[in-house]
Amino acid sequence: MDSSSALAFATVYPDDLSTAHPYQVENLVRGKWGKSLKSSKLPDPLNGGEFITVPEATGHELPEYIESLQSCPKSGLHNPLKNPERYLLYGDISARAASSLKHREVGHFFARLIQRVSPKSYQQAQAEVTVTQKFLENFSGDQVRFLAKSFAAPGNHLGQQSIGYRWPYGPVAIITPFNFPLEIPVLQLMGALYMGNKALVKVDSKVSVVMEQMLRLLHACGLPPNDTDFINCDGPVMNKLLVEAKPSMTLFTGSSRVAEKLALDLKGRIKLEDAGFDWKILGPDVNEIDYVAWVCDQDAYACSGQKCSAQSILFMHENWSSRNFVEKLKQQAAKRKLDDLTIGPVLTVTTKTMLDHMEKLLSIPGSSIAFGGKPLENHSIPDVYGAIEPTAVFVPLKEILKDEHFDLVTKEIFGPFQVITEYKQCELPLVLRACERMHAHLTAAVVSNDVEFLQEVLGETVNGTTYAGIRARTTGAPQNHWFGPAGDPLGAGIGTPEAIKLVWSCHREIIQDFGPVPKNWTSTTS
């Protein structure tokens, strides 16, 4: 396959995006691409120039999306007893899409497109493409139908048995954020479609061009155009659409504030992968100190800290601080440069907001700047975005636990910002008390090879994706393990068969009872 045929689906080229050559994103409904009555222009996150125009669907346009979503019955587009050949269809679509993404030009296309709208290093952008490609590869061939595998139990008499099925919800909605514009929407969309649902997709408009292009690629790989609708609109319009369309299930990935509102508005018909204030504990055994410092830097500052799994607070055993661990972390962070986007614009938090938060933390007794704490210099990032150096603020553990400080210290700042604290061995219960009080339980890391220490910490905590061992990290949502919160009945997962079945299907039991009726049966009243 040559590069021209590999990119035949594309309607935009990342390196051509500019004020002189802006791109018009389109919406998709009932299998047709089109513009909206209203649109908005997006500023380039690196220089402020208007480089993409996105449609903004208005309330007057919602009936078409509502009718499209409601055209899908509750039993879905397919299920184990209806249109089962579509399981095979989606296995084939996944195989073709995985093959396409593996093509060098296509992979590079999406990595560069991600970089243009959600600036991160090429390595980080390419990793997102790789995870998506591997996921699609994992669900090629017969793997889609295996997601709907049923089970049976013998009944009470001849001709009776109960069969448990994984059943689709039918009409569903997917809302995803800006920070992983390819990986999150693709993995959740395909999981929804594999199980037989019809999906309406809403990606943060700042980055929606990535998913628009991926949908065009999926159509070229055989995805039925009517199986998915794609909308760009503002939050209130999307909220109105969800309330009126009444999807049977909605997947929301994003802020806790919006998640809590949607949970009420949709009467609990929702799964959430919301914000995470993610902790890391360095245990008493100090090993591989340079490697651990590198991982801590990656966890806190890769993608400019804009990961829901980013390291938000570091609990450091005194044995690590006595080895100048913070200085090593500072040296790692100092290597990050705007030139290669290892540090870059923060798309949802302004510079002022981050620095104001830092000043509030510094007002806590005993607090100090460990490193960073200054705006980036010599750049053209627009003021609507944030731009600060990788920053860490030290706050004493006992001050963190005080009621007047805890909410401030554990406020998530979606940028290159973390809190560092230190503890003595006898203070481990205080560390665990802090972890218990946090309200978001997405990722965590326990950096230790001390088995007894690991057992104590892991046994007393709840985070849904927890790494343990000297190589433990907080970030990383590959396709080979569960990624999602724990401790919340509305919690969603992503990437694995278990996650897909949990989020995108429900259990249905059918009890077959074919007889025969016993020959000596007589009518009785009970």
Q: Is the pLDDT of residue 1 over 80?
A: no
State whether 49 and 135 are in the same domain.
yes
Q: Is the pLDDT of residue 238 over 90?
A: yes
| Residue 362 to residues 305, 314, 325, Cα–Cα distance (Å) | 20, 17, 21
Q: Looking at the domain assignment, is residue 398 inside a domain? A: yes
Q: What percent of the chain has pLDDT over 70?
A: 99
Q: Looking at the domain assignment, is residue 286 inside a domain? A: yes
Q: Looking at the domain assignment, is residue 140 inside a domain? A: yes
Count of structural domains, the chain? 2
Q: Say what angle helices 208-220 and 85-102 make with each other, to 10 degrees.
A: 120
DSSP 369-421: EEE--SB--S----TTSB-B--EEEE--HHHHTSHHHHHHHT---SSSEEEEE
Q: Average pLDDT of 497-516?
A: 96
Q: Is the pLDDT of residue 137 over 90?
A: yes
Task: Please tell me the pTM assigned to this model.
Answer: 0.96
State whether 138 and 257 are in the same domain.
yes
State whether 400 and 455 are in the same domain.
yes
Q: Is the pLDDT of residue 432 over 70?
A: yes
Q: Looking at the domain assignment, is residue 255 inside a domain? A: yes
Q: Is the pLDDT of residue 479 over 90?
A: no
| Residue 66 to residues 143, 208, 249, 269, Cα–Cα distance (Å) | 31, 20, 14, 17
How does pLDDT run across 57-101, given as a tens digit for each residue? Answer: 999 999 999 999 999 999 999 999 999 999 999 999 999 999 999
Q: Is the pLDDT of residue 386 over 90?
A: yes
Q: Is the pLDDT of residue 279 over 80?
A: yes
We report the CATH number of the domain holding residue 496 as 3.40.605.10
State whether 201 and 295 are in the same domain.
no
Q: Average pLDDT of 463-472?
A: 96
Q: Is the pLDDT of residue 4 over 90?
A: no
pLDDT value of residue 5? 77
Q: Is the pLDDT of residue 224 over 70?
A: yes
Q: Looking at the domain assignment, is residue 8 inside a domain? A: no
pLDDT value of residue 162? 98
We report the CATH number of the domain holding residue 391 as 3.40.309.10
pLDDT value of residue 3? 55
Q: Average pLDDT of 117-122?
A: 97
State whether 257 and 316 are in the same domain.
no
State whether 72 and 168 are in the same domain.
yes
State whether 258 and 326 are in the same domain.
no
State whether 314 and 428 are in the same domain.
yes
State whether 242 and 357 are in the same domain.
no
Can you name the residues that pair with 271 across neighbouring β-strands? Answer: 251
State whether 447 and 495 are in the same domain.
no
Average pLDDT of the chain, as a whole number: 96
Q: What percent of the chain has pLDDT over 90?
A: 94
pLDDT value of residue 440? 84
pLDDT value of residue 19? 87
Q: Is 106 helix (H, G, I), strand (E, B) or coil?
A: helix
Quote the longest CA-to-CA distance of the chain.
93
Q: Is the pLDDT of residue 526 over 90?
A: no
Q: Name, of 3-7, 140-144, 272-276, the range with top average pLDDT.
A: 140-144
pLDDT value of residue 2? 53
Q: Looking at the domain assignment, is residue 416 inside a domain? A: yes
pLDDT value of residue 274? 78
Q: Average pLDDT of 254-262?
A: 90
Q: Which residues are catalytic?
A: 273, 308
Q: Looking at the domain assignment, is residue 519 inside a domain? A: no
Q: Is the pLDDT of residue 513 over 90?
A: yes
Q: Looking at the domain assignment, is residue 52 inside a domain? A: yes
Q: Say what angle helices 122-138 and 104-117 make with each other, to 10 degrees.
A: 130
Percent helix, strand and coil across the chain, each to the nearest 5: 40, 20, 40
pLDDT value of residue 21? 85
State whether 270 and 301 are in the same domain.
no
List the domain range (segments joined by +) for residue 323. 279-468
State whether 310 and 211 are in the same domain.
no
